[in-house]
Structure 1
Amino acid sequence: MPSITIRNVPDEVHRAIRVRAAMHGRSAEAELRDILDKAAKPEGRLKLGSLLASIAREAGGLTDAEAESFNQLRDKTPAEPMRFE
């Protein structure tokens, strides 16, 4: 797993992180990991799959029969492996 070094953190910020970590019963490092995780992946973020599904719903989407007809048209023969000779 990658590591991150953060330099020049103000003393009051460092103290606040240590206090916050103690309140949550974990180390300062674990607290910072939690803060970074929540900042990078917020609860209300829009995920790509959800966005595509909503677009499909708005456009009318495919019926099961239409999806099955696309499946029948698909070429199911295995791909030939690439050769580097």
Structure 2
Amino acid sequence: MANLWVHSVDDTLFDTLVREAEANGRSVEEEHRFILEEALQTVYNRQFIRALMSMPNVGEDADFERVNDRREAPVVFD
């Protein structure tokens, strides 16, 4: 795993981080990681939604129903 050091953090911001960590029963490092993960997950979700929305409308749901033809599926992986 990578390490991340943050320099020159405003004292008020750091104090808030300490209070939040204490309130959530986490260390300051765990709280910092949690906040960072939450922020970046939101960005990731937004990008995923954009990708889904960019897909063209290619038909109705019924067009993609699975046909039960009872054939064996091809072996793709050994």
Does TM, normalized by the shorter one, top 0.5? yes
Unaligned 5+ segments in structure 1 are 66-75, 77-85
RMSD: 3.4
Alpha-carbon offset, residue 8 of structure 1 = 0.3
Higher relative contact order (CA closer than 8 Å, sequence separation 6+)? 2
Q: How does 1:3-82 map to 2 (within 5 A)?
A: 3-42=3-42, 45-46=45-46, 47=48, 51=52, 55=55, 58-60=57-59, 63=64
Alpha-carbon offset, residue 64 of structure 1 = 5.0
What does residue 71 of structure 1 align with? none
Identity in percent: 25
1:29 & 1:43 partners in 2: Cα distance?
Answer: 21
* Aligned residue pair count: 66
Aligned partner letter, 2:12 = E
Taking structure 2 as the reference length, the TM-score comes to 0.64
Stretches of 4+ aligned residues off by more than 2 angstroms: 61-65
Unaligned 5+ segments in structure 2 are 67-74
Alpha-carbon distance change, 2 to 44 in structure 1, aligned in 2, over 3 angstroms: closer
Alpha-carbon offset, residue 43 of structure 1 = 8.3
Alpha-carbon offset, residue 37 of structure 1 = 0.2
